[in-house]
Amino acid sequence: MISRIDFATIDNEIKKAIDDTLNDLKASNQNDYALFLADGEYSKELENNGLNLNPHVIDNRMDKYKDSSRLNFLSQFLTTFYSFPSSQTSTDDSEQRLHMELMVYAHIWEAKPFLKKFYRLAHLWNHEQYVWNVKIPDMGKHDFIRNDIRQIFEDKGNPLFQIIKNGFHTSLRNAFAHSEYSFDTMNYNKRILLDNYNGANWEMREISFDDWSKRFVYSALLSYYLLDLAHKHRINIIDSTGADSFQIKQPSKINGFNFIWIKYNKQYDRFIFEQ
């Protein structure tokens, strides 16, 4: 279980870390900030379709559409179980809720739209060029999350690295994804036993219900707020920057880049290439 106070503390910690990171990116490079919010993406479908179109597109909505039902579920789940009505000071240890949390956790750390957005934010915040074509491995996401996202934040002292560390652990993801876990409720300290434990130093043999609750909350709120706050920054970009047009570097169909202007339309919440 987790207390209302601990939940509120984690909630504020994650919101501040993401909001500060987005604001830092805006202050250092408004054009890259706008491109991040415009969801620049590499569209493989446009690569060789005979229309001579540049496959590097903006306002990519497909990832959002693909994940919309899962994000709605996550929002409703948090509202249902973590709203903490006035009479409730902590969550209970409902096994039904825990089973659902384990499935949600595995989905969060497998979700490619979430990982792509997080990867791009990390590398932009590290003053690198925007990565249009993020290649996420189908297997071995542990190394991708640890080396290509978490380590980037850690090297620059961004607190998001510790938030990832507090939430993600490969032993948990693997055990839940393959149903290799069980609940031990016979002792005073209730725990989840991980049947995929093989004795390696980095592996986790078990986790208490209380520690699990914190890892789940860190993961769920990180996933939720990355998308939620990015959207809020997007719809406020004109007010916060004083501009609606931004010059970005769009990769050309051959080697190199073209400097292109994109424009945000607040009424329709969309970015377009300016002619």
Rounded-to-5 percentages of helix, strand, coil across the chain:
55, 15, 35
Cβ–Cβ under 8 Å, residues 220 and 8: no
| Rounded average pLDDT over 210-237 | 96
Quick check: 210 pLDDT over 70?
yes
Alpha-carbon torsion, ordered 105, 34, 120, 250, to 10 deg: 140
Give the model's pLDDT for residue 153: 97
Who contacts 82 (Cβ-Cβ below 8 Å, separation ≥6)? 7, 91, 217
Give the model's pLDDT for residue 64: 77
In this prediction, residue 50 has a pLDDT band, given cuts at 50, 70 and 90, of low
Give the model's pLDDT for residue 66: 76
Give the model's pLDDT for residue 48: 73
| Chain centre to alpha carbon of residue 157 | 18
92, 119, 147 from 171: Cα distances, Å: 24, 21, 17
| Rounded average pLDDT over 163-185 | 93
Give the model's pLDDT for residue 205: 94
Neighbour tally for 131: CB within 10 Å: 16
Total-model pTM: 0.94
CA angle 104, 109, 112 (to 5 degrees): 110
pLDDT digits (tens, 9 = 90+) for 144-164: 999 999 999 999 999 999 999
In this prediction, residue 71 has a pLDDT band, given cuts at 50, 70 and 90, of confident
pLDDT digits (tens, 9 = 90+) for 117-127: 999 999 999 99
| Rounded average pLDDT over 79-85 | 91
Quick check: 187 pLDDT over 80?
no
| Rounded average pLDDT over 233-262 | 94
Q: What's the whole-number average pLDDT of the chain?
A: 92
| Rounded average pLDDT over 224-228 | 93
| Rounded average pLDDT over 62-84 | 86
DSSP letter at 51 equals S
